[in-house]
């Protein structure tokens, strides 16, 4: 009797194995959280610095408190996206200093070449506002996804760099990145010198 139960048990095990081997295995795609984006609304920053700009209502401005920070260095913080746009303002006192600042911006952007799949440069030129510069769009799994500088070539220079405080995985942050790039474009277009 025990022998017969064992034979039936083995028969059903073999039948289950044979049935499962006939199916083709297909792994499920990786899933990500659904992100609900806020409505696009903007405030104007006009504190005691030499510039003004519009920034989103879902962001906040924090003063840069690092050891090397200067007056009018700040972060536009996006708390719900765990990202920061670092802004660094420098007064321009000579053509030599301006050239060094512009070269620094290029160097900082191209330091991401190791992880970036491409770095695109877009010219920023608003002659009516005496504003020009370059926007660096960095594609790939680099630490920074967008950087820019703006200047009037005489008195003012500001540099911005967007960072996420997450491991850079383009496939998971791409929707947020696209959303914030729109805000960076609004900030750049609304920037005015005082």
Architecture per CATH, 42-193? 3-Layer(aba) Sandwich (3.40)
- Residues 6-42 have pLDDT tens digits of 788 777 777 776 666 666 666 766 666 678 899 999 9
- Residues 158-183 have pLDDT tens digits of 999 999 887 767 777 888 899 999 99
| Among candidate residues 129, 138, 161, 165, the one with its CA nearest the CA of residue 53 | 129
Phi, psi of 36 (to 5 degrees): -100, 115
pTM, two decimals, is 0.80
pLDDT score of 87 more than 90: yes
Would you list the domain boundaries of the chain? 42-193
How far is CA 101 from its chain centroid? 22
How far is CA 72 from its chain centroid? 21
**Residue 33 structure tokens:** 């959280």
Find the mean pLDDT for residues 46-62. Answer: 95
| Among candidate residues 91, 146, 100, 93, the one with its CA nearest the CA of residue 124 | 146
- Residues 99-150 have pLDDT tens digits of 999 999 999 999 988 888 899 999 999 999 999 999 999 998 888 999 999 9
């Amino acid at each position: 009797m025990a022998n017969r139960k064992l034979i039936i048990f083995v028969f059903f095990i073999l039948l289950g194995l044979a049935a499962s081997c006939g199916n083709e295995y297909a792994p499920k795609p990786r899933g990500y959280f659904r992100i609900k984006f806020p409505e696009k609304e903007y405030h104007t920053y006009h504190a005691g610095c030499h510039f003004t700009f519009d920034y989103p209502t879902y962001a906040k401005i924090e003063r840069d408190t690092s050891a090397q920070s200067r007056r009018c260095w700040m972060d536009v913080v996006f708390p719900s996206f765990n990202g920061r746009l670092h802004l660094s303002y420098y007064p321009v006192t000579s053509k030599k200093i301006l050239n060094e600042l512009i070269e620094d911006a290029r160097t900082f952007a191209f330091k991401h070449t190791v992880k970036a799949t491409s770095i695109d440069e877009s010219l920023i030129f608003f002659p009516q506002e005496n504003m020009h510069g370059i926007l660096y769009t960095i594609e790939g799994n680099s630490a920074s996804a967008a950087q820019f500088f703006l200047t009037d070539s005489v008195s003012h220079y500001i540099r911005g760099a967007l960072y996420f405080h997450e491991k850079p995985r383009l496939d998971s942050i791409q929707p947020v990145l696209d959303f914030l790039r729109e805000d960076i474009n609004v900030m750049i277009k609304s920037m005015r010198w005082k």
